[in-house]
A and B are shown apart, each in its own frame.
Chain A
Amino acid sequence: MEVSGLVKRYGSTVAVNGLDLTLDTSTVLALLGPNGAGKTTTVEVCEGFRSADGGEVRVLGLDPRRDGDRLRPRIGVMPQGGGGYPGVRPDEMLRLVAACAANPLDPAWLLDVLGLSSSVRTPYKRLSGGQQQRLSLACALVGRPELVFLDEPTAGMDPQARRLVWELVSALRADGVSVLLTTHLMDEAEALADHVVIVDAGRVVAQGSPAELTEHHADDRQLRFRARPGLDLTLLRDALPEGLQVREASRGTYLVHGNIDPQVLSTVTSWCAQQGVLAEELTVARRSLEDVFLELTGRELRS
């Protein structure tokens, strides 16, 4: 799949502003960004639901708008928020979608795998958000597609169901299926994707493998601890080497940013001892994708 220079406007709002993407066969690409970044719009253009205002989109060598009838049998789509008749039972819905495919997976097996066997008689509108999501995922996979679009696949799911989705995505990739997923969860992108594309305000702000994106800032670590709020940090600032920043990020939570080496850790703990403060939950961590995002956009991801 190849997207270059994609532009999409809604009235005077530019939702996607010159976006490029490449998804290779049997890899997982994660579009990561806050709500309103243009992720869903991008996916819907690739699925053929929306037309592009500019740029070039080829999916499996086809134009999703013009060749939609040839493309759709080859892809699996999990739209954001799912989809089903209000009164339909999960097995009826999945069997209907399975009937649209030439070589579908066994619907009963898939419902069982996704933990929906016990709710086969519950109408769609009375399923929980997580159950609707799981049914939607089943609908995306039942036709044995080559390429799967998952828009916020784990939204509204409990941790156990999320784990299952992660396992499914890994299995898809291992079996040669390509996956484009959107998420605003860092750990999801880090755990699943071969390639992460960070988008904000319709543009790509960074991309690479999760390792590349975080490695780039390898000497940039973060020391974090909790202590009594409102400590005077002047002495600590003086004691730390140049280039390190200290602040009380939120009440009682202190952060030290920069090149954290053993000496810095020792300096911080000595200062705590001098202040008569027991530092709790003291951790030193590599910068996560979350921090990378914050640095690139100046915004929290979960906005």
Chain B
Amino acid sequence: MSATAGERGGDPHELGHDDTVPISERGPAPKRIVVAYGFWIFLLSDFILFSGFFAAYFVLSGATAGGPGGRDLFDLPLVATETIFLLLSSFACGMAGIATMARNKLWFQVAMGATGLLGAGFLALELSEFAQLISAGHGPQRSAFLSAFFALVGCHGLHVLLGLVWLTTMMAQVWAKGFRDDILRRITCFALFWHALDIIWVALFTSVYLLGTVR
């Protein structure tokens, strides 16, 4: 039996766990929450992986070996377009989550398709930036700064690519098997992954592109 709303007034989230069932007798949390928690731990470990690449980039950002620095190379309008693509992709992924809640297969496929196309657009822009840099002789072998830049941005791009592969398999799974419980858990994990990539991109465009242009 739960406390009434009036009694919970000072504790709207029930952080005090004011239930008659003691916490030791409630049993494990529902599987979907445990799975999302486990995947969140993985994502945090991924953030720590990225923090290593970020640290390497910050340390080496001045080591241009007489070559061009960030200010000479970065094309901010292109980066802004990439950012918009990824943000809208994240939003479309959220809409896929809503369609999942409504158990609507058509809207799920439409929203996931939009997510995938926007993600692919982001990846295409990033690859064109890389191709431009390499063809101008500013490839990763030019300086330690460029090595660290390609490693960091490329690692994020690789994550987006893997996310796209996962996205297509999720679309196929929902199409073939419907909204089964295990499929629902996979959709939740994919959404967490895709939104986490956007968080890393926020850190990336700020610290690499914007701060690199300011300095």
Q: Are chains A and B native binding partners rather than an unrelated pairing? A: no
A residues lining the B interface (CB < 8 Å): none
B residues lining the A interface (CB < 8 Å): none
